[in-house]
Structure 1
Amino acid sequence: MHARRQLAALALLAGLVAVPALAATDTQAPTPTRAELLAKSTAAEWRTPDPHNLLVMQLPSGRVLIELASDFTPLHAANIRTLVREHYFDGLSINRVQDNFVTQWDDPESTRDHPDPAKLKSLGTAKKALPPEYTHAINGKLPWTPLSDGDVYAPQVGFVEGFPAARDPATGREWLTHCYGMVGVARDIAPDSGNGSSLYAVIGQSPRRLDRNLAIAGRVLVGMPLLSALPRGAGPMGFYDKPSQRTPIQSVRLASELPPAQRPAVQVLRTDSATFAALLDAQRHRRDAFYQVSSGKVGLCSVEVPVREMTPTD
């Protein structure tokens, strides 16, 4: 009899312990997926890039869309527009693909150790050198969406219209950051030696050490797989050692130069929207059958700002 009472008591105790745990689990609904959150977004939460700032680069494998960051690097954006209008990039090539780092396109002659000036493609009316534009004064008029999760490289980080950015209130400066898909301006040793005729896209782990040391001209909106999946170069720094390995650039145009029917219909989720805030929260606090532990944090360069291509019926 005594033994039966002990077993009954233990069973009751186990039941009392188990019930709250089950109740807590049942009350935690799974975190909405990215697709579910985006499906509930409103039209007002999406913005259409200015066609004057949208580059359309045509490769043999498809189309790459790049939005220029004219609010952060206006001089470089203007010079790149001039190069594009004068068809500078047409017929050039992707000459460098360094694993876990960057894909770079420019005049292949310019990347040689001793380029022949007579073979270099003319820059036309574009400027040969520009001020660095690595940082600029904090612009309170731009929509700033801060991340409160902290950052190793900057006192403050966040987003400005989809571009990952950093700030230092002590100096009053802000700058764009080298996250995946960002497009930077290659240069020589001199800080003013970059002019936008040689560009690179980050295709690997974010090289944030480059922040404030190179100008960032924009961000790839569509077509990153066409740049990141290319064969790696076997030469120093990932340059191709054979001309046959290069990927030709068929053309680069400003969307504003194309007939309206041919302009890309692309939209970017506003980073100051409620849906973007929900996406950040879902990434911080993931709860579903796979995730056993939520990080509770989100890194600046781990956030993928949603982009959607529209169809004529949208």
Structure 2
Amino acid sequence: MKHLLLAASAAASLILPVAASEPAPIPSPGEIAAAAPASDWIAIAPSDLLVMDLAPDAKGKPRRVVIQLMPAPFSRGWIGNIRKLAAAHWWDGTSINRVQDNYVVQWGDATEKKPLPIGLATVPESEYQIEDRPAVMRIIETMHRNKVRIEELVRQQRRSGSPRIYAPEMRTKVDPYADLQGFAQGWPVAGSTGLWPIHCYGAVGVGRNLSPDTGSGAELYAVIGHAPRHLDRNIAVVGRVISGIEHLSSLPRGTEALGFYKTEAERMPIASIRIASELPAADQPQFEYLSTESDSFARYADARANRRDPFFIRPAGGADICNIPVPVRPVAAK
């Protein structure tokens, strides 16, 4: 027995150093976001959340969709209208009227006869992008700092002997839709001489008729398919769905042209749409997003571009900007 114990000890002494030398598992993007310190997360004000409550499902379960509205200087005119429409409870009793596969879900007044609140702004097409030079330069500088932060992360990983991921210059690949792209204030944006928000999955935009009409904000849609970037600067982006997208993307597809529902019975009733700050305190959803100016986001973006966690075989070497969704998480009520 003594010899057996010695043999087992010797075998263990040979095994343990090998196990100790194994590299730590490479974290996934989700694990990187989850490990980010509290200081890297930014609370979303309830006044910037649009809460849409749909009719309950067949089992009586509530269906709530929460939309984060874009911050200034983007989409200001339309968002001002949306706030007025929500304050007037204009959407109560309207419906989801259109669900087009791999494209959008759209809601509003199907009859197009419901009077709009007084005082809605008529927004010019020029507001599809920001042209104000000082504002543009400030945002571009932020985007550049974020890009440099990611590139420095890559260099640090190489110096530390980490496996090669990708050359920093690959970050400057041309976006087929814009001269530059990046993140600012927690949102994906693109631009050239001006800047504009872009259509990624979950983006919320303003339905409109033919130009020069730009829509009032009464007709809204959410992207439920591959990012339709061709809509950028052609329709206003005013926000993004941060919770409850499954209640929109799982709806039956409309059978009429462009996915419109044929009958009233097919439409999904909207019980109410409110700005979250107008709801009772106990019913106000609370969310926060990972700061796109943080080192945690730089590591997260790099991991999205180069998946090296156990499931993946080859890092991609880059990522479409819409494939780097900004992490958003609910916050427990205090």
With the shorter chain as reference, the TM-score category is: 0.7 to 0.9
Residue 102 of structure 1 aligns with an amino acid whose one-letter code is V
d(CA) in 1 for partners of 2:48 and 2:281? 15
d(CA) in 2 for partners of 1:288 and 1:43? 24
Aligned counterpart in structure 2 of residue 73 of structure 1, from 72, 75, 79: 75
**Contact 1:149–1:298 (CA under 8 A) maintained in structure 2:** no
TM-score (norm 2): 0.78
d(CA) in 1 for partners of 2:236 and 2:130? 11
CA deviations over 1:97-134 (Å, ceiling 9, x no partner)? 00000000010012xxxxxxxxx111122426321221
d(CA) in 2 for partners of 1:204 and 1:276? 25
- Deviation of 1:141 after TM superposition, in Å, equals 4.1
d(CA) in 1 for partners of 2:121 and 2:333? 41
Determine helix, strand or coil for the equivalent of 1:244: helix
Q: Which moved more, 1:285-294 or 1:83-92?
A: 285-294
Aligned counterpart in structure 1 of residue 128 of structure 2, from 134, 148, 155: 134
**Contact 1:96–1:105 (CA under 8 A) maintained in structure 2:** yes
Equivalences for residues 134-153 of structure 1 within 5 A: 134-137=128-131, 139=135, 140-142=137-139, 143-144=142-143, 145-146=146-147, 148-153=172-177
Determine if the alignment matches structure 1 residue 220 to structure 2 residue 241.
yes
Cα 1:128–1:39 shift into 2, 3 Å: closer
Aligned counterpart in structure 1 of residue 289 of structure 2, from 261, 264, 268: 268
Runs of 4+ residues over 6 Å off in structure 1: none
Determine helix, strand or coil for the equivalent of 2:67: strand
**Contact 2:304–2:323 (CA under 8 A) maintained in structure 1:** no
**What's the counterpart of residue 150 of structure 2?**
none
- Deviation of 1:27 after TM superposition, in Å, equals 6.9
Determine helix, strand or coil for the equivalent of 1:248: strand
Determine helix, strand or coil for the equivalent of 2:196: strand
State the Cα RMSD in Å: 2.0
Aligned counterpart in structure 2 of residue 281 of structure 1, from 278, 290, 302: 302
Equivalences for residues 1-314 of structure 1 within 5 A: 29-61=24-56, 62-71=63-72, 72-110=74-112, 120-127=113-120, 129-132=122-125, 133-137=127-131, 139=135, 140-142=137-139, 143-144=142-143, 145-146=146-147, 148-168=172-192, 171=193, 173-312=194-333
d(CA) in 1 for partners of 2:214 and 2:304? 40
- Deviation of 1:245 after TM superposition, in Å, equals 0.8
Residue 53 of structure 1 aligns with an amino acid whose one-letter code is D
d(CA) in 2 for partners of 1:162 and 1:247? 31
d(CA) in 1 for partners of 2:212 and 2:94? 24
**What's the counterpart of residue 17 of structure 1?**
none
Q: Which has the higher helix share?
A: 2
**Identical counterparts, % of pairs:** 43
Determine helix, strand or coil for the equivalent of 1:200: strand
**What's the counterpart of residue 6 of structure 1?**
none
d(CA) in 1 for partners of 2:180 and 2:22? 35
TM-score (norm 1): 0.83
CA deviations over 1:120-152 (Å, ceiling 9, x no partner)? 111122426321221112524454345645411
- Deviation of 1:214 after TM superposition, in Å, equals 0.7
How many equivalent pairs are there? 277
- Deviation of 1:34 after TM superposition, in Å, equals 2.9
Cα 1:149–1:273 shift into 2, 3 Å: farther
d(CA) in 1 for partners of 2:76 and 2:321? 23
Unaligned runs of 5+ in 2: 1-17, 57-62, 148-170
